[in-house]
Amino acid sequence: MIFTPELIEKIIDNSKSQTRRLVKEGEVSTDYPFTFTIPDDNIPRESVCYFPKKAVENKEDSKLRIKWKVGRDYAVQSKRGGKGVWWSPETKEIKDVARGIITVKDKETAEKVAKQIMNDYSKVRTYVPLRILVTELRKEKLKNISNQDAIKEGFNNKEEFILYVQKLYNKNSDWNPDMWVLSFEVV
């Protein structure tokens, strides 16, 4: 799941535990196992699925693609097609894995670097992929967000969050799309 670097920091420090994503054409929420009955928007569902319109019309369940599912975990990324973010749960530090690799040309230099690192144990960290577990999933209009949910999004209040989303999508203040609301926890 893609987040800006600023929001990744908030996920790590536990000040962000919710995200909203635009509802795209062909996406519906559904119970598991899947059915083609379009669910009532007010009923919480377990998964968001993408149904190509033609597949729904022809009842082709083989064309179904699960986008998000409660109970499933997802890698956190900072850009589309990018590598997942790595972090240290002990220090809350984010690691750029590509820059963290030390390349040396000879054995003597390699031994010297290894000895220097081992002499300063505080520099040795354990990094793991940053993953989030979806714990709840629902659909609501952007402007229906509560102040409590805006705080879970990592913002101070609903007005600040709504302005952020409108700016992100380059939309005016009248824009009020349907959004998927995903609550999550770091795993």
* Each residue's pLDDT expressed in tens, for the chain with a length of 187 residues: 999 999 999 999 999 999 999 988 777 776 554 444 444 444 445 566 655 556 656 655 555 677 888 888 999 998 888 888 988 888 888 875 444 444 455 666 667 666 665 665 555 567 889 999 999 888 899 999 999 999 999 999 999 999 999 999 999 999 999 999 999 999 9
What whole-number distance in Å separates Cα of residue 45 and Cα of residue 31? 6
Identify whether the C-beta of residue 38 lies closer than 8 Å to the C-beta of residue 102: no
What whole-number distance in Å separates Cα of residue 23 and Cα of residue 112? 54
Tally of helices (H runs) and strands (E runs) in the chain: 5, 10
What are the tokens at 84? 């997942």
What are the tokens at 39? 């669910």
CA distances from 171 to 15, 42, 139, 157 (A): 26, 26, 20, 19
pTM: 0.73
What are the tokens at 134? 């979806």
What whole-number distance in Å separates Cα of residue 81 and Cα of residue 49? 21
Task: Tell me which residue of 140, 16, 150 sits closest to 76, measured CA to CA.
Answer: 16
What whole-number distance in Å separates Cα of residue 2 and Cα of residue 67? 13
Residue ranges per domain, the chain? 5-82+130-139+176-186, 88-129
What whole-number distance in Å separates Cα of residue 81 and Cα of residue 2? 9
What whole-number distance in Å separates Cα of residue 123 and Cα of residue 34? 49
